[in-house]
Chain A
Amino acid sequence: MSALARLHRPATVEEAVRLLAGGDGERTRLLAGGATLVAMLNAGLVDPAELVSLAAVDELRGIGTLPDGGLRIGAMTRHRETAADVRLAGTLAVLREAAARIANPVVRNMGTIGGSISFADPAADYPPALVAADAAVEIAGPQGRRRVPAREFFVDWYATALGPNEMVTAILLAPRAPGLGSYDKLYRVAGDYAIVSVALSVAWRDGACARAGLAVGGCGPRPLHLDEADELLRAGRLGAQAARRAGELLAAAADPLDDVRASAAYRRRVIPRMVERALAAARDELSRTA
């Protein structure tokens, strides 16, 4: 039986944070799109005393362009909006492609980027995409706002860098650079979480790779990412050899589990194969557009 006794609807982030801080720790939860939290409520997996709904916080809505040309995706932005935003192009396309692969059209109409990353399921689609794109997560808390790189935000299975009474307010993206982003997902049936996913973001200028970001989802407690692999790809201009080596490094660093979707051994086997495919496709695309 639900013990839920309060449902708050603050209008500002500051008010939401105050409500969180004024609540009873774990018994007070933020409610974003509901796609995960309400399912858990229904199943009796969480039993909050208070919910702080973010539905009325205007600041959290929508995708805006920052003064530097970067983008700010409000935490309450639905997956559907992210998947449809043409500003997420070039290096940032990885995020749009990932958003388009989350669950199904109806859930994409409900679920939010802030809710999704706060839950931090490592088999979800956003985490590797944000890591590949080197996004930052804007966080609000009792001490005000701070930014955490996505690469540091995901810390463990279903665990993030959010401190007590903190909340995600936005995703911050550096201005998009020419290049490409791609998101490849291996799944059992459409809409499932990933068995393995490969997120790639490549800045490409004058025939050279300015920056490469590669991350793998579904293969451990958090998105799998190695600076060394990124650097190999950049220096090797995404070449086949660099791709193979990067894939091997990631597979070796992976810490997957056996679960109902696949075995850990299979995931390790598939990581380099999917990485190589993603980079082959990237080379193709770059040669076409060059």
Chain B
Amino acid sequence: MLHGALLGSPHAHARIKSYDVSAARAAPGVHCVLTGEDFGDHRMGAFIKDEHAIAKGKVRYVGEPVAAVAAETEAQARAAARLVEVEYEELPAVLTPEEALAPGAALVHAELASYFKVFEAVCGGNVCSRTELAEGDVEQGFRESDLVVEGRYRTQPQAHVSLEPCGALAEVDAAGRVTLWSANQSVFRVQANVCESLGLPMSRLRCLTPRVGAGFGNKMEAHVQPIVVKLALATGRPVKLVLSREEDFEIVRARHPFDLRVRTGVKRDGTFVAREVEVLLDGGAYADDSPGVLGYSLLMARGPYRIPHARCRGTLVYTNKLRFGAFRGFGNPQVSFATETQIDEIAAQLGIDPVEIRRKNALGADDRWFGGQALASNGLRECIDVAERESGWPARGAIRAAPGKRRAMGFACTAHIGGLLGTGAIVRMLEDGTVVLNTGAVDIGQGSDTVLTQIVAEALRLPLEQVSVASPDTDGSPYNWGTTASRVTYTTGRAVLAAAREVERQAKAHAAEMLECAEADLELLPGGVVGVKGVPGKTLPFVAISARAHWRKGGPIVGTHTWVFDQPTVDPKRAVAVGLPFPQIGVYSFGALAVEVEVDETTGKVAVLRAWTVADVGRAINRAAVEGQLEGAFAQGLGFALAEELVFDGPRLVNPTLMDYKVPTSLEVPYALHAHIVEHAEPDGPFGAKGVGEIGINVVAAAIANAVAAATGARLRELPLTAERVLGGLLQREAEAG
């Protein structure tokens, strides 16, 4: 096996004039050196196909891979990569959305108009996508309002920090077909990205997934897979490349920084009337999932509330920085930080309790989501009730802080979709009556293998240990868009349940013939047995049925089901949408969060002491896994709220290490982290289940900011809430108070 290594661009924006790979090629152990010249003009991209497998013609951010080496050892590969010489002609770089939108700004993608786009993108210049979603008459709404509150908010780039850095291993067989193992969230997105960017027929690439050390969005689209496949094709040898932590920070993707302007109009009694939102997103050098993040953030910008008049618009801009992309929450944490803290400002100005104003405006069972989609299940009000009750919110006035500290609670509400696109399942009964499930869904640690196994076991009344899950494999698995959008339990679970039902149907058809009775008279009994209803002893084990199917009649029992989420996001009679890339999106989960924080008066440092995170997940198929998602999302949100930030000095990321980029430890996340599950069954969800992967992160920053504001009187509109910012706010309030 050979080892791969990359050479990154030293420039944010430059034309590549020439390469000299002679020294690298001559270095010890080197088998192959590739540059953009070795790659055809093929581009990949989930929404806009704007990205080559490796920089070709020019570089667009610092660190962008410009050359790749395969050598006998990793050390040799890394040493040789540094010997590749690239002659650049530096171009002016645009490092912020403002710079990129300025007249005469250098273009990150001069050929943008010619790129293939999977949706009706409104784009041009450095604008990658412009999206608008509106309902009602927002001007009229503000005229009808008694109070209008507005604010500008900023959020920071956050890194995923999946503990396992991205990596891939590719091998070419004698016929030239490639097998690719990689850390990913979708073998099918890997296949599509590699094949698009290398110009390979999809049938020539098989993608597999070993266990994955978490994803959170950064392994959904391509990372090093296209380059590794190309190295394997070029050398005819297996090639492995695992990014260092620094490279993983510098060249994969991160959460978008948002610049938001939010304006909300309300009646004196706290009734929400109008909301206007304008967001500006730094998308970095490639579109990646950014158009989706923009569109989704706007869809979430009205929050889980009745606001009859709303207009939300956003602009996504190319800059010469690392691409920003999918990250748990997908734009919702950023927009919710603004909207959910603004609601507290409104509540304060009106003298209404923050929970009360949310309850008053919460979407109810008959309400629709922004855009017009009906909500088949909605447990929001119960979530609010549970968070309020469990946290002791009404008694929070009695909270006392130690000298030098301040304590207070904060609250926020949220919703999130789970769904999107196609998925399938194959449930096979083996000769011995045990069952193998194959969905192609990648378990990135959230526990979907367990949950999907439980669905099959429940449907077929089998013990869990008689159901196994096949590893995702583009050769053998049905299509699965991926482990993203909080979707696997809901979408794949539905497919799994339907496929299991098909297995039941086939098994009963066999049993009816074997027992000489009507299929309708049969039932599944625990332990993999079909029996005649009401006739004890008249039973057949799966093994007998499966043997007959395999060896004598009918053929092996295989249940399959595929489907695609097809409910429209927007009802054109209710809403206007432009440039929204999600015509069909998903079903809604709801949540509420209460937190208690302590602020240190000396330094401004914030500690979260307790938290109650509540979500309506339809039906919790595995309670521990649901709690694990809520708790883990809370911790990641706590990092976003208080500490995490990718810091750029000009074009260069200055903290691409875990020394300098800090994620919460066991001492930052409170042990008093209470996850509560609310179950309002989604009628078409598997056993009523809907998504939970992301919802727990959405309003962590907002709830903490609300608590900090309650503790200090300081309303902070920029994340993270560092000790520095909080102390600044605290001292400013003290100065104002004289």
Interface 9-mer from A62-70, A149-157, A184-192 = A184-192
Please, which residue of chain B has its CB at the minimum distance from the CB of A43?
B246
Q: In the assembly, what is the distance between CA of A188 and CA of B603, in Å?
A: 11
Q: Is the CB of B724 within 8 A of A274?
A: no
B668 to chain A: closest residue by CB: A189
Q: Which chain B residue lies CB-closest to A274? A: B602
Within 8 A of B (CB), among A157-207: 186, 188-192, 195-196
Interface residues of B in 580-611 (CB under 8 A from A): 602-603, 605
Closest A residue to B638 using CB positions: A189
Chain A interface helix/strand/loop/mixed: loop
CB distance from A197 to the nearest CB of B (A): 11
Residues of B within 8 A of A43 (CB): 246
**Cross-chain contact A1 with B79 (CB below 8 angstroms):** yes
Return chain B residues, CB-CB under 8 Å to A192.
662
Q: Is the CB of B602 within 8 A of A277?
A: yes
Q: How far is the CA of A195 from the CA of B600 in the complex (A)?
A: 15
Instruction: Tell whether, in the assembled complex, residue A190 and residue B603 are in contact, meaning their CB atoms are under 8 Å apart.
Output: no
Q: Is the CB of B724 within 8 A of A186?
A: no
> Could you say which of A189, A263, A274 contacts B665, with CB atoms under 8 Å apart?
A189
Instruction: Tally B residues with Cβ within 8 Å of A.
Output: 28
Whether A189 contacts B662 by the Cβ 8 Å rule is: yes
Interface size on A, residues (CB 8 A): 22
How many Å from the CB of A167 to the closest CB on chain B?
A: 25
Judge whether A1 and B723 touch: CB under 8 Å: no
With A43-B246, A270-B727 given, name 6 new contacts (CB 8 A): A104-B665, A189-B664, A191-B665, A260-B660, A266-B723, A270-B602
Q: B663 contacts the other chain (Cβ, under 8 Å)?
A: yes
Give the shortest distance, in Å, between A279 (CB) and chain B (any CB): 12
Distance (whole angstroms) from the CB of A42 to the closest CB of chain B: 9
B interface secondary structure, majority? loop
Considering the chains assembled together, what is the distance between the CA atoms of A178 and B602 in angstroms?
28
A269 in the interface (beta carbon within 8 A):
yes
Q: Which of B75, B602, B668, B728 contacts A1 (CB 8 A)?
A: B75
Contacts of B76 on A, CB cut-off 8 Å?
1
Contact code string A217-242 (vs B, CB < 8 Å = 1, else 0): 00000000000000000000000000
Given contacts A1-B75, A2-B75, A269-B727, contact A190 B643 (CB under 8 A): no
**A262-B722 CB under 8 A given contacts A186-B605, A188-B643:** yes
Which residue of B is nearest A277, CB measured?
Answer: B602
Q: Which residues of B have CB within 8 Å of A277?
A: 404, 602
Answer whether residue B450 sits at the interface, using C-beta atoms and an 8 A cutoff: no
The answer to the question of A9 belonging to the interface, with a C-beta cut-off of 8 Å to chain B, is: no
A113 vs B727: C-alpha distance in the bound complex, in angstroms?
A: 33
A-B residue pairs in contact (CB < 8 Å), sample of 23: A43-B246, A104-B665, A188-B662, A189-B643, A189-B662, A189-B663, A189-B668, A190-B667, A190-B668, A191-B665, A195-B723, A260-B645, A260-B661, A262-B722, A262-B723, A263-B724, A266-B727, A270-B603, A270-B723, A274-B602, A274-B603, A276-B602, A277-B404
B101 near A: Cβ within 8 Å?
Answer: no
Closest 8 A/B residue pairs (Cβ): A190-B667, A266-B724, A1-B75, A189-B662, A260-B655, A1-B79, A273-B602, A190-B665
What residues of A have a CB within 8 angstroms of the CB of B78 in the complex?
1
| Cβ contacts under 8 Å, B662 to chain A | 188-189, 192
* Distance of A246 Cα from B272 Cα, bound (Å): 53
Task: Report B628-661 residues with CB < 8 Å from chain A CB.
Answer: 643, 645, 647, 654-655, 660-661
Q: How far apart are the CA atoms of A258 and B53 in the complex, in Å?
A: 37
Chain A residue with the shortest CB-CB distance to B647: A260
Query: Which chain A residue lies CB-closest to B79?
Result: A1
**Closest residue to B664 on the A side, CB-wise?**
A189
B267 to chain A, nearest CB (A): 41
**0 or 1 for each of A1-35: is its CB under 8 Å from B? (1 = yes):** 11000000000000000000000000000000000
How many angstroms from the CA of A277 to the CA of B403 in the assembled complex? 11
Q: Report the minimum CB–CB distance from B10 to chain A (whole Å).
A: 16
**Alpha-carbon distance between A274 and B79 when the two chains are bound, in angstroms:** 47
Given contact pairs A188-B662, A189-B665, A260-B647, A273 touches B603 in the complex (Cβ within 8 A): yes
The residue on B at minimum CB distance from A281 is B404
Question: Which residues of A are found within 8 Å of B722, using beta-carbon distances?
Answer: 188, 262
CB contacts (< 8 Å) of B666 on chain A: these are: 190
- B665: chain A residues at CB < 8 Å are 104, 189-191
Per the bound structure, the CA–CA distance linking A260 and B661 in Å amounts to: 8
Q: Of residues B78, B246, B602, which shows the largest number of chain A Cβ atoms within 10 Å of its Cβ?
A: B602
- Interfacial chain B residues near A266, Cβ < 8 Å: 723-724, 727-728
Q: Which of A190, A195, A260 has the most chain B CB within a 10 Å cutoff?
A: A260
* Complex: A191 Cα to B603 Cα, angstroms: 18
Q: Which residues of B contact A190 (CB under 8 A)?
A: 665-668
Of all chain A residues, which has the CB nearest B78? A1
CA of A263 to CA of B76, assembled, Å:
40
For window 244-275 of A, CB contacts with B under 8 Å fall at 260, 262-263, 266, 269-270, 273-274
Residues of B contacting A189 with CB < 8 Å? 643, 662-665, 667-668
